[in-house]
Chains A and B, each alone.
Chain A
Amino acid sequence: EPEVTQTPSHQVTQMGQEVILRCVPISNHLYFYWYRQILGQKVEFLVSFYNNEISEKSEIFDDQFSVERPDGSNFTLKIRSTKLEDSAMYFCASSPGQGESYGYTFGSGTRLTVV
């Protein structure tokens, strides 16, 4: 079964450092997403990406966040200057086409720890 792959599974970074979380969506999918889950809390939508641009973002997704699809296979989330409160599990997801919920798949997550 096709998978969304996220690397690394766990990343530790110092406060103020830039971090890039990487995702490889399912190959024929067109829509890509990032979600965040602070420890013990609910999973929250960050951003969706389609046709090489952001299609929607939440209020959490401020100027310190950016997303990119640099090479047609990877989908990255960059946090420019990490804060302690950015510590969370970050999930990438992808879906095949507009309105097609079958195949909407989450990766296994990257646990980001900011120290």
Chain B
Amino acid sequence: AQKVTQAQTEISVVEKEDVTLDCVYETRDTTYYLFWYKQPPSGELVFLIRRNSFDEQNEISGRYSWNFQKSTSSFNFTITASQVVDSAVYFCALSEVYTGGFKTIFGAGTRLFVKA
């Protein structure tokens, strides 16, 4: 069965520190997609990144980077030089494909506090 584990419930850092948010997933499918979303206090889900199961290249986008390792079923997210505006809940999610489209399972989320 699908499962997404974000073991870190809350992380608190001081501005300019680097922080890594962990995500471990379980799936029996060979084709799947991994996502990270940011949920600010206003409540919407802000898309950050998508990765498919065949693309293990790490990605960097500005201060954000992602490390996808199929061997350990992990898809970790690092924020470099964190800023107060990064404070939010971050969700890792796993989507499997089936005839009805996608079914996305979300992790429990990691609440990140960045203090000035």
Contacts and interface: CB of A to CB of B under 8 A. Distances in A.
Interface footprint category on B: 20 to 34
A42 B100 contact: no
Contacts of A99: 31, 97
A101 B33 CA distance: 7
Contacts, number: 68
Contact of B44 (A33, A55, A93, A109): A109
Contacts of A104: 33, 50, 95, 102
A18 interface: no
A95 B43 contact: no
22 contacts: A33-B104, A43-B45, A43-B93, A43-B106, A44-B106, A45-B105, A48-B103, A55-B99, A56-B100, A89-B43, A93-B104, A98-B97, A98-B101, A101-B52, A101-B95, A101-B102, A104-B33, A104-B50, A106-B47, A108-B45, A109-B44, A109-B45
